Amino acid sequence: MSLHLEATIADRDVDVNFDVANGETVAILGPNGAGKSSVLAAIAGILRPETGRATLGDDVLFGDGIWKPAHLRGTALLSQDALLFPHLDVTENVAFGPRSAGRSRAESRSAATHWLSEVDASELADLKPSQLSGGQAQRIGVARALAAEPKLLLLDEPMAALDITVVPAMRQMIKRVLMDRTAIIVTHDALDAALLADRVIVMDRGRIVEQGATKDVLARPRSAFGARIAGLNLMSGVAEDGGVRTPDGSHVEGLCAEPIGDAETAVAVFSPSAVSVYLEPPSGSPRNVFEATVTELEPIGAQVRVRTAEVSADITVAAVADLKLMPGTRVYLSVKASEVSIYA
């Protein structure tokens, strides 16, 4: 179900206009206060834009003198706080959507059981929300949103409040359920965008400052915020011995969030600031080392981003001078396995 949105929200100074295609996942990135959550609230029917128009499939959500109330929109919203109904147990929470849609008690329960297994939380079915950890509660939140069979799924920083140790597994689960689903995810983590979204919209001070295919925006950000969050090194290939074998033959070691079977497609992700640059092959502790040629040197704040064909490194100006780096220099780029995350 495709979404078209144009809206101005005066008291948050938001003015946006974008589309989401059927089956597409769009990530909205941006600093705090950029108006990302207001945009989701306007789509969900929680906040009333002054002007604008939104359609979801053939339905007008607002505009043309129409205001469709939240419960008729088919846009389930999950925020950083799962907000599970405290007086209902986990199964009743997940069954809430189907029940509200008029399905029978038995049908709703079986739908709840199905969605709980989809988020790997079947064993939590009989617990009360107060007995769950933050990560567990958020899994149930995802199941509850999906059980409502939304035409458009809205995720507002779903992992922002979670303990960092549970984020990788949660991200993996969200990636799985977003497959072929029309969804918008608001995040300030480039990794979410890189792994979950087909397309990225960058917002700043209530305006869209940049949008495009995820890999384009992250590789060549044109906005200041885009540059700050982007530049993640992504090396894709197939899984091998808990690492990733890239098409050019390099093997990248890293930490896996969840076990990945050999020969599955996998991606290794690491930050440029975790990469060191050498002129000679480094020796010592086990590291990933890639031989490359410098293509570009780009100042970013007090640092310099050293770009090569595939991997970028952020190093100090002093180090650049010390190594006498310039485009065309042959270098060895090294990153510790513990700094690399590997995802299926």
Site residues (CB under 8 A) for other proteins?
44-46, 69-77, 81, 83, 85-87, 96-97, 99-101, 144-145, 148, 154
Least separation, in Å, of the C-beta of 297 and other proteins? 48
**Residue 303 per-residue DSSP state:** E
Least separation, in Å, of the C-beta of 78 and other proteins? 9
Decide whether 14 or 94 has the Cβ nearer to other proteins. Answer: 94
Residue 57 structure tokens: 């499939």
* Contact between 158 and 333 (Cβ < 8 Å): no
CA triple 253-255-259, angle to 5 deg: 105
Least separation, in Å, of the C-beta of 148 and other proteins? 4
Least separation, in Å, of the C-beta of 333 and other proteins? 46
Decide whether 85 or 278 has the Cβ nearer to other proteins. Answer: 85
Question: What is the DSSP pairing of strand 75-78 with strand 152-156?
Answer: parallel
Q: What is the CA radius of gyration of the chain?
A: 22
Question: What is the DSSP pairing of strand 51-56 with strand 14-20?
Answer: unpaired
Question: What is the DSSP pairing of strand 51-56 with strand 243-245?
Answer: unpaired
Q: In what order do the strands lie in the sheet with 287-293?
A: 276-278, 330-336, 287-293
Q: What are phi and psi of 262, to 5 degrees?
A: -60, 145
Decide whether 53 or 151 has the Cβ nearer to other proteins. Answer: 151
Least separation, in Å, of the C-beta of 153 and other proteins? 10
CA triple 140-141-142, angle to 5 deg: 90
CA distance readout (Å), 142 to 46, 155, 211, 224, 242: 19, 9, 26, 32, 28
Least separation, in Å, of the C-beta of 278 and other proteins? 52
Residue 235 structure tokens: 């090396």
CA distance readout (Å), 292 to 279, 312, 328: 10, 10, 9
Residue 247 structure tokens: 């098409």
Least separation, in Å, of the C-beta of 257 and other proteins? 28
> Residue by residue, what is the 3-state secondary structure of 133-144?
CHHHHHHHHHHH
Least separation, in Å, of the C-beta of 101 and other proteins? 5
Decide whether 81 or 310 has the Cβ nearer to other proteins. Answer: 81
